[in-house]
Structure 1
Amino acid sequence: MKFLVVMTMPPYGDSRLKPACDFIDAVMNEDFELNVFFLSDGVWNVLKTITPASDEWNPLVFFKKCSNSAGLYYCEAAGARRGVVPEIAASFFKMSSLAELSDLTLHSDRVVVF
């Protein structure tokens, strides 16, 4: 089974991120094929400069772990509108486009949007 998860929330200030990451973790634990596409404010998750307090959950560490078995893409246009350029994105995220999102959607069995 092929899953596509579309992430639209920023790394902080939104309570939906952790449940979305729990869902992603569950999909990976089932050995399903997984792609994650960061869109809208979700592109803030790709910043390599995310530095939470030492006692807080770090989404960047989670996504780095995911990159071993999932495709991680972010929308170039959404990033450009928010100042997220390749130089400040973590290297395990792939800059992409809405055309790629369309293709990933077409070739996925399930699409889940958070």
Structure 2
Amino acid sequence: MKIQASNITAVNTNMSSVQQKAQLSADALQAKSADAGPSFSQRISDGLNGVSQAQNTASQLARDYEFGAENDLSKVMINQQISSVGFQLTLNIRNKALSAYKDIMNMPV
């Protein structure tokens, strides 16, 4: 079998075309994963920061009400309830995650 230069050029052209398509596919996957949103750990971190901020706000409003700087008692109570519900939700999520972890660790292999 005789190999000609034109055949090698055609193969090289096809390979470069395949490599370009693979690169485009890899770029599309990266763009898609970037558009997918924050990761699980980022969502957990944001949630915990939100609960912490709600607790700090409720604490500050209660302190302001005690010193007379805040006159709206309903605003203080609502923020305390928001803080309480957020903390209870966080605690329940932690308990469920811990329970699931224990169940997985107790599974026979």
Structure 1 or 2: larger strand share? Answer: 1
Structure 1 or 2: larger helix share? Answer: 2
TM-score of the superposed pair, with normalisation by structure 1: 0.25
Higher relative contact order (CA 8 A, sep 6+): 1
TM-score of the superposed pair, with normalisation by structure 2: 0.25
